[in-house]
Amino acid sequence: MANILLKKSYLRKDLKEINFRDLWNTHGVFTTMWVFGKPAKILFFKKHIENLIRSIKIYKINSKSIEKDILKIIKSNLKKHKKYNHLLRIAVNNKIISFSLRKKLKPKIKFNVKLVNYKRIQPEFKNLKYKKILTYLSKINTSNFDIFLCVNKKILESGTSNILFVKKNKIFSPINSFYKGITFKFFDNELDKIKKKNIFINTLNEYDEIILIGSGKGVVSVESIKNSKWKRKSLSTYRFLSKIYNRAVTKCPLYNG
């Protein structure tokens, strides 16, 4: 796991700073955003905040000032003079808002995964129930390795990202029981052709490419699956998606607080 550059926690009632708490496994939600450049840019910033506030309301931990308070915390911790290439995490439960920045690792072209029999609690939401996943991730180098969460022999999502499967230039994603992240929604809108389909472990060899997409990894091509015979057959769709993603990065406006 990457080193933490900055980590702070605040009481929601008055925004008083307290000792840092990551809030993992509490009743709450979080979002992770890519902060890059000098001055800073935050990719899909508005969408991340909108989605976070929506999740806060669904989890019934809302307050009138929560969006304003989150924006204030982000603004107070990002510095205009610093060059960033970091992942910004905002976690919220009913009492605390936590802010952290960690260095963004560059995924390697030789990227491998392992199948793990596990489904997140309420997987449709980016909730804080991540204890088991963090146990796996703490033991690996996430720049070249990840886990695929599976249940009933169906693949759902990775430990950090959404997954796209490519077969004869057609792009597929699982149907349900996974969190549709901001990057996933971006591609779903841009491509207008991601087909929803149950992806079973015993059908993996039908797919030419498997691609991870998310705020932390961007777009990553999987080379092989360690506990499967599947191996990458092409990089064409990965290159295509990377161009689309890089255009969004280039067009990303400056963060103005």
Question: In the chain, what percentage of residues exceed pLDDT 70?
Answer: 99
Output the pTM of the full model: 0.95
Alpha-carbon span 157 to 177, nearest angstrom: 9
- Could you give the residue ranges of the DSSP H alpha helices within 103-235? 131-137, 182-191
Query: Which residue ranges form the domains of the chain, and what is each CATH number?
Result: 4-103 (3.30.470.10), 112-247 (3.20.10.10)
pLDDT at 2: 55
pLDDT at 1: 47
Core vs surface per residue 121-148: b (16+ CB within 10 A) or e: eebebbbbbbeebeebbeebebebbbbb
Determine the 3-state secondary structure of 243 from DSSP. Answer: helix
Residue-wise pLDDT for 173-217, tens only, equals: 999 999 999 999 999 999 977 999 999 999 999 999 999 999 999
